Amino acid sequence: MILVTGAAGNVGSHVLDLLVAGGHPVRALSRTPQQRAWSAEVDVVTGDLVDPASLKAALTGVDSVFLFAVPGSGPAFVAAARRAGVRRVVLLSSGAVDDQAQVQDGPIATYHAEIEHALRGSGLAWTFLRPDVFAANSLMWAGQTRSGDVIRGAYAQATSAPVHEADIAAVAVAALTEDGHAGQVYRLTGPHSLTHADQATILGQALGRPIHYAEIPAEAVRQAMSAHVPGPILDDIFGTWAASIGRTAPVTTDIEKVTGRPARSYRDWVLDHAAAF
């Protein structure tokens, strides 16, 4: 049995679908399972990674786990997994984690690194997936593209190599169902370094209309985002954007190395999500 945590999320839902399609027995852990429809092949349990008591039922009979990173959950999860006899864990970590740093830079890297540390010392067979920037972050522009052809945002020349969530899921499923991935750290990116302005142009091309990116002061964007994103996380995001200007974003081949096919392009992602824009 394979347990998928974060099963309703962007990556977890793809992991779940791929496992079902591959005929693997699968269980989904959800805090609110009643809020979505589940495939009949999925065993759904109610639970929360921040509530260790709820993990006993979720982990019973489980051999492998796709682990969504919840801050502070590492030690309790490891203890529960070991008691249940779990053998393999694939963690959705973050490209922000720096293995050379004694102290991680910012809260995103910090809490992912803490969970990685708990798994490294657990005796479980672990695999870490470290995606950089999710292509799905572009969904924050969808309200603007539905009402016009201009995306107003910060740092038009900030760079990233946006990765399709389906590619992350494909790597996760390989690591969950195949041997040879224990102890591996995969940094997952899309195939191209793109600026925010580049992404807006590709969005327009894929949607068949001209869309361009109009840079506005970063503080105005930060203020708008602060209604939904905690301040320390915003510091991380805006610091990363500012530091990337003038640099080519790193591009890796780990997706192709694991899955045998190249990473999907940002245009591929847009076409898969065109209805949102």
- Residue 32, Ramachandran bin (φ over 0: left; ψ between -120 and 50: alpha; else beta): beta
pLDDT above 90 for 4 = yes
| C-alpha to C-alpha distance for 197 and 194, rounded to whole angstroms | 8
Select the more confidently predicted residue: 36 or 5.
5
- Per residue in 129-165, pLDDT (tens digit) is 999 999 999 999 999 999 999 999 999 999 999 999 9
Q: What stretch(es) of the chain map to CATH 3.40.50.720? A: 2-131, 132-163+189-249+264-277
Residue 16 — pLDDT band, cuts 50, 70, 90?
very high
The mean pLDDT of 2-10, rounded to a whole number, is 93
- Could you say which architecture CATH assigns to the domain 2-131? 3-Layer(aba) Sandwich (3.40)
For the ranges 6-10, 95-99, 234-238, 251-255, the one whose mean pLDDT is highest:
251-255
pLDDT digits (tens, 9 = 90+) for 177-204: 999 999 999 999 999 999 999 999 999 9
Q: Which CATH number fits domain 132-163+189-249+264-277: 1.10.287.110, 3.90.1170.50, 3.40.50.720, 3.30.70.260?
A: 3.40.50.720
Whole-model pTM: value is 0.94
Q: What is the CA radius of gyration of the chain?
A: 19
Rounded to 5 degrees, what angle do the CA atoms 179, 122, 176 make?
A: 25
Tell me the pLDDT tens digit for each residue of 253-267.
999 999 999 999 999
- Biggest CA pair distance of the chain: 56
